[in-house]
Chains A and B, each alone.
Chain A
């Protein structure tokens, strides 16, 4: 197997006096969708935020394509090719959809072919291209947030709960877009509570509990083993 695009080695993260991550080990293989699963509050979001550098690992190493990014400032990590979709979407609501996208293209201009692809995946973004992002609906904001990450080709996408709180119709739009991304050979680390989506997209899965990784394996294996799901994630694992 080739070298993973992202590797976390024994990562510890504290927020104030709380020890949130307590020795996380994780490998994200290139060109696949890796699921990060687990109940609420076990450290999935913290793991993503530690990778992008919003919070700092107090111990351990984070390697992006073999290069140590543990202590790099967030902008450098982003410029190394990491696209981030935060849990709260991080939309700039006073800026237009267009301006949000222009900012997302860090290295220069928006690529029109890529933009066509994004419009095809998320038609509302084309409709509201000149509108202030704050006026979008929740689902449209989520589309914009993912579209921002897709504005340029990234080596790795970190996506935190893209279907959270969305209507079923929009969930499937989202799932389709993510599948599109996957089919292009992108490397994705995806936090997802919706098990149907996770099952459909995930190649491998990692389950967290209490700030540690408690299971890693093939998504298909987890998806078919109800007893394993129950043991790892309890009730929240029920397929929606």
Chain B
């Protein structure tokens, strides 16, 4: 065989617009903040609202991230995801109530320990529950979206009812740990301490997730699996096990989100997960199903939009998120960061 001419690869130069396109969604968050700044006359209120919006967004992100990965990896859509939010909230809040001497003590250390124990308890409970849910409810309906939607919805009903059996039908009012009550004043804005903590935890979770997804082999397998699960298996990785792991992690994160959400609202009900699902769905749709980054950006957008609009025109707050979803889907029908599937 004759020698082939040397293959000299070149990359076609992309136009500025093409190169910017992937970053566009990321720019939306500051853009929305600026828009809010222009619309809201008082800088202090704007700052308060921005922090509130970011806090809310972070919590939604924590709740939604598992759902989007589970979908990306195995094409499983879990309408019962909200059940983990509710269970997480009930378990976590029960722990905080049981540790009330620590939660009510005027010591930040004790407060944080109580919170940490509550979070660990909630995540353990929802993680185990996620494992059971995957085995019993989801596994038999792999590959059938219609049945998935139906049985996971059924699972949600059953779990909600079981919560009522165990904790009673009444809503439970709670107060935040002592040192997380109240607000600090910064640049003329009252910033609720709890919201700042929520923003911190959200950033931490996002950073940890990115670290795992970008820099560990498991993360590589998950990202590759989202694109082409078949090939991941053909390389020798047991995707099924990875998927169960992701499902459990996603459920535990939803549980964490549940505790945070419960403390944020200062009241928990068996249906709170189902209510949160509305925002979660909006977030994963506009983010692009399967994309963690998209989910993060989407969650922040939803949180900010809701808080700004609630301030400017309270009655429109709820449909503002629907409006946001419509606008984004008109721009990118598959969501902001669409996941390219092989096949």
Contacts and interface: CB of A to CB of B under 8 A. Distances in A.
Interface residues of A, number: 42
Interface of B: 1-7, 9, 11, 217, 220-221, 223-224, 226-228, 230-239, 339-340, 342-343
A179 B233 CA distance: 27
B230 A90 contact: yes
A52 B7 CA distance: 32
Contacts of A200: 1
A179 B2 CA distance: 13
Given A75-B236, A169-B4, A170-B7, A99 B220 contact: yes
Contacts of B238: 73, 75
Interface of A: 52, 54, 73-76, 78-79, 84, 86, 88, 90-95, 99-100, 102-104, 106, 123-124, 127-128, 131, 134-135, 137, 139-140, 148, 169-170, 172-173, 175-176, 179, 200
A54 B230 contact: yes
B5 A104 contact: no
Contact of A128 (B9, B220, B236): B9
* The 10 residue pairs across chains A and B that have the minimum distance between CB atoms: A172-B4, A90-B231, A78-B236, A106-B236, A74-B233, A92-B224, A124-B9, A79-B236, A84-B234, A75-B238
B233 A75 contact: yes
Contacts of B231: 86, 90, 92
B294 to A, nearest CB: 12
Nearest to B4: A172
Contacts of A104: 235
Contacts of B237: 75, 103, 106
Given A92-B228, A93-B340, A102-B220, 9 more contacts: A75-B237, A75-B238, A94-B339, A99-B224, A100-B224, A103-B224, A106-B237, A127-B9, A169-B7
B9 to A, nearest CB: 4
A131 B3 CA distance: 28
Contacts of B339: 94
B228 A175 contact: no
B274 to A, nearest CB: 33
B219 to A, nearest CB: 10
Contacts of B3: 172
A86 B1 contact: no
A140 B342 CA distance: 17
23 contacts: A73-B233, A74-B230, A74-B234, A75-B233, A78-B234, A79-B236, A86-B230, A88-B343, A90-B230, A93-B227, A94-B226, A94-B227, A95-B223, A103-B221, A106-B235, A128-B9, A128-B11, A131-B11, A135-B11, A139-B7, A170-B4, A172-B1, A176-B4
